[in-house]
Amino acid sequence: MNGKAENSDKKAAIVGIVGRTNAGKSTLVNALVGEKVSIVSPVEQTTRNSVRGIVSDSRGQLVLIDTPGLHKAIGPLGKLLNGMARASSAATDILCVVFDASHAPQIEDEGWMARVAREKPDNCVFVLNQCDKSPVFETMYRDSWAANCASAGVEPKWLKVSAMAGDGLDTLLDCLFDMAEVGPALFDDDIVTDYPRKLAIADVVREKLLSRLFQEVPHEIGVAVKDIYESKDQWDVSVVIYVNKQSQKGMVIGKGGQNLKFARKAAEPELSEMFGLRVCLELWVKVEPNWVKNDRLLTEMGYKGSLV
């Protein structure tokens, strides 16, 4: 962190990116930053940490905080993630509430509208994402948002974007910089994220496993980087994948180890590119019943701690 811009008229803001799971928050953060800082998948509750993506330009700096998506909480992990997401609305300057315009509003969407209208009505942007698909539910979202704004006595503000196609993102950045206040940058302007490397590596491995495994298993998986052995131009990384039950171990490993091999082959080049040197992974699967209740493991995976 630095305080370089103290005497300039540059702006700075911490922006919480919140919304229901699968709305496209991480895709949006990556698109705004221009680099992949947060993993993406069609599986619910992909994001499990607050991942900061940093946008710096001539106008100043926006620190975008990608958060876990709100979800009908099933089990302790779901509750932990929902708590993290809700806490973010208090800890940010601006809230960017993301909705998937191609799916009907659900209880979590209504919940965000009511919360934001109550807590930050003047400091929020309402973003209808996935407009490259048919945004058939646009009117329902807009009507509902207008009703919430009317009860809070503010003008509804909303934008249409496609995080995937890149549509509407410049307008969104303009809007966020307009709302930001003059202030010093929090990070050097060549940094795109301060997400710790152990967590970033674990997330990329989890993303590759999610793309391969059944819908039921992913919520039961926890990935932790144990050690990084550094040599001059190579990192050898040992990674443990935690599952709750013996039966899940075989599913994660796959026939003849094919799932682990797939994850390793997909993750290694991406991580090598990300860190600018060869990254070699060693993946282990461990049965740890109730790992989601194990404070030491949750801390190791970064699922416990403050958001901002």
Ligand X SMILES: Nc1nc2c(ncn2[C@@H]2O[C@H](COP(=O)(O)OP(=O)(O)OP(=O)(O)O)[C@@H](O)[C@H]2O)c(=O)[nH]1
Rule CB under 6 A: which residues touch ligand X? Answer: 21-27, 40-42, 44-47, 68-69, 129-130, 132-133, 162-164
The nearer residue to ligand X, 160 or 197, going by C-beta atoms, is 160
Q: What angle do CA 99, 178, 26 make, to 5 degrees?
A: 35
Question: Nearest distance from residue 300's CB to ligand X, in Å?
Answer: 20
Which residue number places its CB atom closest to ligand X? 69
Q: And the tokens for 257?
A: 């180890």
Question: Nearest distance from residue 30's CB to Mg ion, in Å?
Answer: 10
The nearer residue to Mg ion, 43 or 185, going by C-beta atoms, is 43
Residue 193 binds what, of Mg ion, ligand X, none (CB under 5 to 8 Å, by partner type)?
none
Euclidean distance between CA atoms 281 and 228, whole angstroms:
9
Q: How far is CA 208 from CA 52, 55, 98, 196, in A?
A: 21, 26, 24, 19
Report phi then psi at 232, rounded to 5: -55, -50
Residue 129 binds what, of ligand X, Mg ion, none (CB under 5 to 8 Å, by partner type)?
ligand X
The nearer residue to ligand X, 164 or 277, going by C-beta atoms, is 164
Residue 11 binds what, of Mg ion, ligand X, none (CB under 5 to 8 Å, by partner type)?
none
Question: Nearest distance from residue 156's CB to ligand X, in Å?
Answer: 21
Which of 125, 115, 128, 118 has the alpha carbon at shortest distance from 179?
125
Euclidean distance between CA atoms 111 and 46, whole angstroms:
20
Residue 68 binds what, of ligand X, Mg ion, none (CB under 5 to 8 Å, by partner type)?
ligand X
Residues 72, 82 contacting (CB under 8 angstroms) = no
The nearer residue to ligand X, 10 or 36, going by C-beta atoms, is 36
